[in-house]
């Protein structure tokens, strides 16, 4: 069993550079968890603390129920794959993969058996004699992973392992890696700045910013119910549109959302209004909607806004248009079969699918948790 638990973990460099602040995270046995965030958010520091490459400033870190703050990296039962692979260039794939066992003086027959086992799994059978220097990017990656896995550690740590592969290979390796992890069932912590990668591969994602976990949840929770504007902006591409506006509560549970300028003034009733946290009385908010969540409105619905088309961008699978709502430029994804032109006015239904509301001051979501 290898759950990982962070209990109030801090990483402070020098006297005051707080890279990771009071992290509390539970990673279940066999789970694939991504630490996602921009550079400098503390994700790599976190991973390095698990690996034992960084000291833990404060707090407790447990792997499989055992406190490992003071355990040597080699005794933590974790394996790590680095972005630059760190293979020995003039050793064959076989010798690279076997290295951790050779180092420990494991019996040669035993090593052979294990290398064959792992290389079959990673589809490396044909490449065992090839020198690392002659391998392609994706192949090097697989050899690096094979080497990490050969010791049968109970935790696998990966730091941006595929970020520098070109787009095609990255998409392929992403799928292969996600599948391999599920097949092996090894608890995995994966560091990336690429939200698409995190969504595609993870069971759960911890979105980090400035050393703090902003939200921890499944890809679906983060995408559909972002806890704050940072998560809302970071997850999803193209990113969510934001329109600052005023929320006013009216009679019989109705809610009005409007801006000072003309063009955005909608009323939410019944079910839609009930999605908003009743504790929030009213005031300055930010209305959030993803490009994909608009619909072109047919009639004059109370939740439709008029928008002027600035640009129309044709596409094969999706088309996009930039429209002006009040003074805001908003990106709308639409069906490639409907064409619009610059200067057209469209009515956009903004609440038919999913919308989000954030407190403008705190940037926290004011949607009800179950509705979020």
Smallest gap from Cβ 333 to another protein, in A, equals: 8
Binding residues with another protein: total (CB under 8 A): 39
Bridge partners (DSSP) of residue 267 are 256
Q: Which residue has the tokens 């951790």?
A: 100
Smallest gap from Cβ 194 to another protein, in A, equals: 11
Environment class of 55 (CB within 10 Å of its CB; exposed 0-12, middle 13-18, buried 19+): exposed
Environment class of 260 (CB within 10 Å of its CB; exposed 0-12, middle 13-18, buried 19+): exposed
In a 3-state reduction of DSSP, which class is residue 365?
strand
- Which of 270/343 has CB closer to another protein? 343
d(CA 178, CA 123): 15
Smallest gap from Cβ 295 to another protein, in A, equals: 14
* Token code pair at residue 116: 């064959």
Q: Which residue of 102, 134, 311, 362 would you call a contact of another protein, by CB under 8 A?
A: 311
- Which of 100/226 has CB closer to another protein? 226
Q: Which residue of 94, 190, 216, 223 would you call a contact of another protein, by CB under 8 A?
A: 223
118 Ramachandran zone, left/alpha/beta (phi>0; psi -120 to 50) = alpha
Residue 200 is a binding residue for another protein (CB under 8 A): yes
Residue 226 is a binding residue for another protein (CB under 8 A): no
Residue 184 is a binding residue for another protein (CB under 8 A): no
Decide if 205 contacts 33 (C-beta within 8 A).
Answer: yes
DSSP state letters, 260-307 = SSTT-EEEE-HHHHTTB-TT---EEEEEEE-GGG-EE-SS--TTEEEE
Residue 164 is a binding residue for another protein (CB under 8 A): no
d(CA 372, CA 368): 6
* Token code pair at residue 148: 């990490």
Strand-strand pairing, 187-192 and 155-159: parallel
Q: Which residue has the tokens 């919308």?
A: 355
Options 3-11, 14-22, 54-62, 316-324: segment touching another protein (CB under 8 A): 316-324
- Which of 17/183 has CB closer to another protein? 183
Residue 169 is a binding residue for another protein (CB under 8 A): no
Residue 329 is a binding residue for another protein (CB under 8 A): yes
Options 9-17, 89-97, 216-224, 251-259: segment touching another protein (CB under 8 A): 216-224
Please provide residue 366's backbone torsions phi and psi, each rounded to the nearest 5 degrees. -115, 20
Q: Which residue of 55, 60, 237, 284 would you call a contact of another protein, by CB under 8 A?
A: 237
Options 148-156, 294-302, 304-312, 364-372: segment touching another protein (CB under 8 A): 304-312
Q: Could you give the angle at the alpha carbon of 309 between the alpha carbons of 306 and 314, nearest 5°?
A: 130
Options 17-25, 87-95, 272-280, 320-328: segment touching another protein (CB under 8 A): 320-328
Smallest gap from Cβ 213 to another protein, in A, equals: 20
Q: Which residue of 256, 320, 347, 363 would you call a contact of another protein, by CB under 8 A?
A: 320
Residue 292 is a binding residue for another protein (CB under 8 A): yes
- Which of 280/320 has CB closer to another protein? 320
Give me the residues that bind another protein (CB under 8 A), please. Answer: 166, 168, 171, 174-176, 178-179, 182-183, 195-196, 199-201, 219-220, 223, 235-239, 290, 292, 310-317, 320-322, 329, 331, 342
């Amino acid at each position: 069993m290898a759950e990982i638990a962070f209990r109030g973990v801090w990483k402070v460099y020098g006297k005051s550079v707080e890279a990771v602040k009071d992290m509390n995270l539970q990673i279940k046995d066999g789970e694939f968890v991504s630490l996602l965030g921009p550079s400098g958010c503390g994700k790599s520091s976190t991973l390095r603390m698990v690996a034992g490459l960084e000291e833990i400033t404060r707090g407790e870190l447990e792997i499989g129920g055992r406190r490992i703050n003071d355990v040597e990296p080699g005794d933590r039962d974790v394996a790590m794959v680095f972005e630059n692979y760190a293979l020995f260039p003039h050793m064959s794939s076989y010798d690279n993969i076997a290295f951790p066992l050779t180092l420990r003086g494991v019996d040669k027959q035993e090593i052979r058996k294990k290398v064959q086992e792992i290389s079959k799994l990673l589809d490396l059978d044909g490449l065992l004699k090839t020198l690392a220097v002659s391998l392609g990017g994706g192949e090097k990656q697989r050899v690096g992973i094979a080497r990490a896995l050969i010791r049968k550690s109970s935790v696998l740590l990966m730091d941006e392992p595929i970020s520098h592969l070109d787009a095609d290979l990255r998409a392929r390796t992403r799928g292969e890696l996600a599948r391999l992890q599920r097949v092996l069932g090894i608890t995995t912590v994966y560091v990336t700045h690429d939200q698409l990668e995190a969504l595609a591969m993870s069971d759960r994602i911890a979105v980090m910013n400035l050393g703090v976990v902003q939200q921890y949840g499944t890809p679906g929770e983060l995408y559909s119910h972002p806890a704050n504007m940072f998560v809302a902006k970071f997850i999803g591409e193209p990113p969510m549109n934001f329109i600052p506006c005023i929320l006013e509560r009216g009679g019989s549970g109705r809610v009005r959302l409007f801006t000072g300028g003309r063009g955005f003034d909608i009323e939410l009733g019944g079910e839609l209004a009930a999605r908003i946290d009743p504790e929030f009385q009213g005031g300055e908010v930010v209305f959030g909607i993803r490009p994909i969540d608009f619909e072109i409105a047919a009639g004059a619905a109370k939740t439709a806004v008029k928008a002027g088309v600035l640009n129309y961008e044709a596409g094969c699978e999706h088309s996009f248009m930039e429209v002006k709502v009040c003074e805001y430029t908003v990106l709308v994804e639409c069906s490639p079969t409907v064409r619009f032109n610059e200067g057209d006015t469209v009515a956009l239904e903004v609440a038919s699918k999913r919308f989000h509301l954030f407190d403008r001051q705190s940037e926290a979501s004011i949607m009800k948790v179950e509705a979020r």
